[in-house]
Every structure is written in C-alpha cells, then in structure tokens.
Structure 1
Amino acid sequence: MINDRLLAFGLLLSTATQLRLPGTPWGAGEALLTIWIIGALADLAYRGAPALTRPLSHMLLFWAVFTFAQSIGLLLGLATDNIYPSGALHTGQAYAFVAILSLLLVILPAWRLHRVAWTFSVGGAVAVILLIAGGYGMVPMPGLGFWEWNRFIGWSMNPNQFGLLCTVLVLLSLQRAEAAARPHTKIFALSCMVPPFIAGILTRSDSFTVAIGFAVPLFVGSKFLIRFMRAERHPSLVMTVACLMILSLPLLLASVTPFTPKIAENARQAIVETMSENDQAEDRFRLWSEAVDIGLKSGMLGLGPGPHLLGKRTKLPPPEKAEAHNTALDLITQGGILAVLIFFWIITAALIAAYRAGLIALASLIFSLFVYSNFHLVVRHPIFWFSVVLGLAAMHSVAPRKLTSARPLDISPSAPRTRA
C-alpha cells in the first residue's frame, strides 16, 4: 500500500516542474519515483524474473526498437556534427528514466495499477483544488508562481504542461467512474473530474481543449454504439428514445441551415485569433517544416536524442535549439521513421487493448494523449507511460469480448482482486 501511494504521488508530482532543483530535471516527483524504482528493483531481485506476459513483451519490444532507432540517429548525428550535447544528455536521461519506470509498471498486477490510479485521481483532485485556491490567493503557497500572464500553470513551468496533467486526471477519473460497481463510488469518481477540468480551462491550453474535445465524443459515441448493439436483442425504453433522437438529427440540422454561414464565420474567426496569438501558427508551422526537412536530410534515420531545430522561438536564448512540439516530428529528428512507427504501434496497441476490454474511458484517455502528442513531446512524461501501461494491462485483465457484450472490469477500491 505504501509503495503504491509513493508511486501515485511520484507520478502526480512529476509535473511539478517548479519544484525541481534549479538547473536540473530532478524534483519532488522524480525523487519519489526514484525511491519507488529502487524498491521495485529490490523486490524484483528478491522474487526473481517476472513472467513474460503480453504487456511486458510489448513494452520490451518498444524500448528495444526505440533504443536502436535513437542509437542509429545518435551515430549519424555524431558523424555529421549535428548533436547538441547538453540537450542530448537531458533527453537521453529522460528516456532512460521512463523506460525503467514503464517496464517496472507493466509487471505490476492489474489490481495494483488500478489502486495507484485511484490514489492518483483522488490526490490529483485535492492537489488541483489547493493549487486553484493558491492561485486566487486563498491559500498561501510561497515559492510558486501560479499564472503566466492570464494562463494558470499550477505547479508547472508552463500552462500546456499543467494542461497535460489535467487531461489525464479528467479522463482517468472518468474511467474510475465507468468501472466502479457502486453508485456512490461512481459519483465520487465523477466529482474528482471537476477540479482538473476547471483548472484545464483556466490554463487556456488549446491542447487541453482539443484533447478533451476529441476524447469525450469518442467515449459517448462508443458507449452509445455498444448500448445500441445490445438493444438489438433486448430493446429498452431508453434506447428507443435515443434512437428517435438520432433519427431526428437530420431535421434538426435542416432547421439550423440558415444560420450555418454565421456559425462558420464565428468558428473561423475564433481559430484565426487563437492561432495568431503570439504568432503561434507561424512558429509551429516553421518548426514543423524544419523538423520534416531534418528528417529527410538524415535519410529518415534521425540525429539522436535532443532538440535539433535551429528555427528558435524568440523566448529561447542562444545557443539552445528548439523542439518541434509534435511527438511524431520530434521523433523523426531523433530516431527517424523507425522511432515514429514504434511510437504509433505502442499507443495503438494500448488503445485497442483497453477498448476490447470494455474500458472505453481508458481508451478515450489514450486517444486523447495521442491527440496531445500532436502539439507536444509526450514520451518523456511518466504520466503518459502510466496511461499506456494501464491500457496494455487490459490485455490480461479480461478476456477479449465481442463489442455487443463489452463490460468494463470492476476496479473500484474495494473490488476483489479477481477477474470480473
């Protein structure tokens, strides 16, 4: 129990970049995770090698291919003198850390992973409430800067980083509610969604908005599809009403047709204003274009870990290089096409495993992280790998079911440690 709480709070505090030691990538979260890793390695040495399960084999394959791709890129970068030493060292250390963490996570029993997820969700909700209170001066928290202009950053260094935490907290709490067996547990889990959702809005992070905007319709649509296919055999009043509402959609759309030009114009104006803010669109497109160019010039082999873009944003002082702020494009500059393909493979495997197990909210979480990866480099974040491991764990948590009978595993805190 203590180890699981240590892990949960380490994952939660891994986003608290304001609490890190100056000039280092280590802080409270990394310290807690390091202590947990040492304990897990000691326990592994005592118990012996774990069984080679499907989740473990998937994770081993990912890191073997990913390391190979990064190594080839590093050799090419050294040969062409295109390595930024401090950036390569920092990124390499981050990859090594999350590799060890993810491999140790994937060998944990599923019931322990879900217990950690409960602690992470509840602890995250409480922490976000305190951070919001601190941001509005209701709770004194010296040493923390809560705002970047008018954007809430919590305990992170920038709003998008805190937005990633809020995304995971919102959808992981939704998954707790989906899988809980008791009504009061569902209500409690749903209440844990509220603080991070409010904080995510306060960050004014477009990445948070887009990720949640994709994940929620995916969750609702998938749930409706499953219920609809069940209703073919067992019709119910609720499904009948839902079907009638769907059948009425064409009429509803026809009724709003006269207002379509005005709606489209307002949407276009909002997009233009958002992307024009701080030359956001110009910066991103320039970085993405340069990342593609570097990938092509390296023969799609990459140049090793670290940033490689010369088109620096104005806030980066020389001689630092920039990243593309897009996981696939950053990986192209580091490990080439092989690193990109293995990234797509592991996130797809986790998503499919969660969906086949009936854990629709967890599948939505993993998909939202893929959406988030289009705006930021997510593979260095421990909470990203925890979410992926939760998805992979579904491979042996339940046997694959047909879509018409998909039902999530009961993983509430008091659930028995057996299969549903």
Structure 2
Amino acid sequence: MTNLIPSLLIATAISLVLQTNYRLSPELGVGEIGLALIIVYAIARCFATPARTPSLREHPLPLLSLLHLLAIVLPVTALNALYDTYGIAFRDLLAYLLCALTIFALATQAERTRQIALLTLVITLALVSLQYLFGDVSVWYATTRFTGGARNPNQLALYLVCLILITAIHVTRPLLRTLCFSLLVFFGLASQSDAFLAYLALTVGVLLLSLIVPSRFFMLVAPATLMLALLLGLWFLTDIASSLGRQWSLADQGGSRLTLYINGLQAWLDNPLTFVLGNGAGNFSGLHGPFQGWEAHNTPIDILTVGGLLGLLAIYFFPVKCAIDVYRLDQRLVFACTAGLIGFTFFHFVARHPIFWVTLFVLYQHIKEQREVAPACAV
C-alpha cells in the first residue's frame, strides 16, 4: 500500500489540473499546487540520493525540454520583455516550467510510470463521470457542450485524447480497454469539440491504413490516402462536410481561426531572431494583427511564435519519433493514437498542459521497455 501512495498523489495532481473551473485563481489550482509539491520532493530526493538523478541518456525528454526552456525560452522572454513586446507573459513561462519539471519528477519515479498512468486514467474518468452526472451549469459550455470541469471543451478533449493513448498502451484486458475507450469517446462527443472529432477521424483512418497497407509502403501511401479521403469526403459527403463546418464555427474562436493563424505566423516572422528563437513565453496572435495577446489555438503556430524553429523542433521531435518507433514495433493501435494526438495539436495549444507531456513520457517509457523486452524474447 505504501508503494501505491506516491503514484496516487502524482496521478491525483495530474487529474485535478483539468478542473480549471474550480481553481483558486485563474492560473493556480489544487492540481498545480500538488504538482509543485511533488516536484520539490523529487528534486530534494535527487540531492539526497544523487544516484537516482535522471541521466540524459536514460531520460532525454524531460532533460532536453528543461534545457530548451532555461537556455532559450527564458533568455528570449527576458530580452523581449525589455522592449515591452505585447503578449509577453511570465505566467506562461511558469506553466512551461511546471510541465518540464513534472516530467522530470516522473523520471525520478520511472519504475512507477505504468502505475501512475493507470491511476491518472481511473481518477480522471471518475472525476469527469461525476461532473457529467452531478455537475452544475459550470461544467457545460454554452449550456450544450460538456467540459468536465475544464474551462472549455477543447481542454477536456486534450485529456481524453491523451487518456485514449494511455489506454491503448497500458490497458491490456479487452473488456476493460473497450469500456475505457467507450467512456472516453462518449465524453469527447458530449464536449462537441471539433478538435476531438478531427482526432477521431484521423486516428481511425490511420489505424485502418496501418492494418491494410504493407509496412514498406505505409509512409508513402498513408499521407496520400488520407488527403484523398478528405477531398472525397468534402466533395461527395456534403452533409458530413456541413456538420463539420458547423462544429468549426461553434468552436472557440471558430470564425476567426484563420485570422489567428495568419497573425500568429506574422508574429513568428517579425524579424530574423523571432524566426529562429521566437518571441519568448506569451501569446502573440490577435484578431486584428499580431502581438495582441491571443493564442492562435494551433500548437505549431503558437510554438513558432514562442520558440521559433528551434521550439518547433523541441516540441515535435519526440512525438514524431515515438510514432515512428511504435509503428516499427508493430503496435498499430498505439501508433494510430499517437498520430491522432499529433493531429490534435493542430487544433489546440497543448504545450502548457502537463497531461500532454506526461502522456509523451508514458509513451517514451513504453517504447523503451518494449525495446528492452524484444532482445530478451529473441534470446
């Protein structure tokens, strides 16, 4: 039982971060406080037992993310703050730091990764189910879209997308896996999140293709097939296209998204320094031009404005690498869910959310364990 307590505390803190409607302040809630305490404990434990300190070779994800944050994002943020660049937010810098230190803390508990992942799944499902059954009007966005206690449906959708991947990795019993998938998809549909619908379509499409297309042709055939399916769907299935269009327009900033995208790209291309290193922590898009303190609601664009090309590489290197690795391990369901998670990032800014980084760490650890098991099985 005592071995379960650290995992339970970490999983509970991660799950409570979702409850943004019930924070002590807009930026601070019980989940964030819990993660901060866990991080302090993990760092103190590293000082007390240096042998337990994660190494770059064993855990490159948390350490490289910390290096990028401290060596690039922090100095650029401080530099641009001197020139009063509108949109700079040291609050966001703290959010990135919380994410980086959270996966560092997980690295110190690497042997409990599966336990933490499963507990996060169970606790989050329990919280969201209770909100759905007994929650007040605060858990509904515009009275019809379920948020599960989050500020908006896309925040809930991010948790659901991440938990679907965790389910694919660590829930092995068919009946339990089906139950978890069903609940997660149900809550995703209840949120009416267009990003979640896009995720489902992409994940199912990638899964079908990965099962049908031979491995040696997949990387060539899959992108072309998905693009053809999208074009045919828009051309012939007008009802579906109209429905997706309505979901797009109802979503957060729906009618203005293209404007936010374009203005975000302008903030990224403001000068040669921002092209390479970005503008630092903050939100740099806007409805009437760049640097108005708005998110683009698109992770690649928002990351380009924050961290430039180096930031884009830092964010997407591990997800893409992990997707390729699980495909090579012949884990098609995990591969499809990973591809879906990457696709989801194009509809929501995920870099400030600990659950995204926790899920990447869980995925990375799973791949590492599978590679260690494979040679042993071969012997």
TM-score w.r.t. structure 1 length?
0.75
Partner of 1:114: 114
Partner of 1:306: 282
How far did 1:323 drift?
0.9
The secondary structure found in structure 1 opposite 2:63 is: helix
Partner of 1:369: 341
Asked whether 1:394 is paired with 2:366, we answer yes
Query: Which digits, 9 at most, give the CA deviation of each residue in 1:99-157, with x for residues without a partner?
Result: 111122234335x11111111222223222222212xxxxxx46844343311111111
Contact 1:366 1:387 in 2 (8 A): no
In 1: Cα distance, 2:86 partner to 2:348 partner: 21
Distance 1:321 1:119, change over 3 A: same
Structure 2 spans left out of the alignment, 5+ residues: 217-231
The secondary structure found in structure 2 opposite 1:25 is: coil
Q: Which letter does structure 1 place at the counterpart of 2:304?
A: I
In 1: Cα distance, 2:27 partner to 2:257 partner: 25
Partner of 1:132: 132
Larger Rg: 1
Partner of 2:242: 269
Partner of 1:42: 44
Partner of 2:20: 17
Pairwise CA RMSD: 3.3
The secondary structure found in structure 1 opposite 2:371 is: coil
How far did 1:306 drift?
0.7
Among candidates 54, 73, 80, match of residue 70 of structure 1: 73
Partner of 1:99: 100
Query: Which digits, 9 at most, give the CA deviation of each residue in 1:284-315, with x for residues without a partner?
Result: 111111111111113203221011224279xx
Among candidates 25, 28, 32, match of residue 26 of structure 1: 28
Contact 2:263 2:285 in 1 (8 A): yes
Counterparts of 1:12-411 in structure 2 under 5 Å?
Answer: 12-22=15-25, 24-49=26-51, 50=53, 52=55, 54-71=57-74, 73-78=76-81, 80-84=83-87, 88-110=89-111, 112-134=112-134, 141=135, 144-177=138-171, 180=172, 185-223=173-211, 263-277=236-250, 282-299=255-272, 300=275, 301-311=277-287, 321-399=293-371
Query: Which digits, 9 at most, give the CA deviation of each residue in 1:142-190, with x for residues without a partner?
Result: 684434331111111111111111222233223333xx2xxxx331232
Q: Which letter does structure 2 place at the counterpart of 1:146?
A: W
How far did 1:267 drift?
3.5
Distance 1:71 1:122, change over 3 A: closer
In 1: Cα distance, 2:48 partner to 2:325 partner: 31
In 2: Cα distance, 1:355 partner to 1:311 partner: 40
Contact 1:369 1:384 in 2 (8 A): no
In 2: Cα distance, 1:58 partner to 1:294 partner: 28
Q: How many residue pairs were aligned?
A: 356
Distance 1:223 1:45, change over 3 A: farther
In 2: Cα distance, 1:62 partner to 1:356 partner: 25
How far did 1:391 drift?
2.0
The secondary structure found in structure 1 opposite 2:269 is: helix
In 2: Cα distance, 1:346 partner to 1:175 partner: 17
The structure whose RCO (Cα within 8 Å, separation 6+) is larger is: 1
Q: Which letter does structure 2 place at the counterpart of 1:286?
A: T
How far did 1:20 drift?
0.5
Structure 1 spans left out of the alignment, 5+ residues: 135-140, 230-258, 314-318, 410-417
How far did 1:197 drift?
1.4
How far did 1:394 drift?
3.2
In 2: Cα distance, 1:396 partner to 1:348 partner: 15
Contact 2:233 2:241 in 1 (8 A): no
How far did 1:224 drift?
5.6
Distance 1:334 1:149, change over 3 A: same
Contact 1:351 1:391 in 2 (8 A): no
Name the one with the larger helix percent. 2
TM-score w.r.t. structure 2 length?
0.82
With 30-39 and 196-205 compared, the bigger mean Cα shift is at 30-39
How far did 1:281 drift?
5.1
With 265-274 and 341-350 compared, the bigger mean Cα shift is at 265-274
Q: Which letter does structure 2 place at the counterpart of 1:38?
A: V
In 2: Cα distance, 1:47 partner to 1:99 partner: 21
Contact 2:192 2:247 in 1 (8 A): no
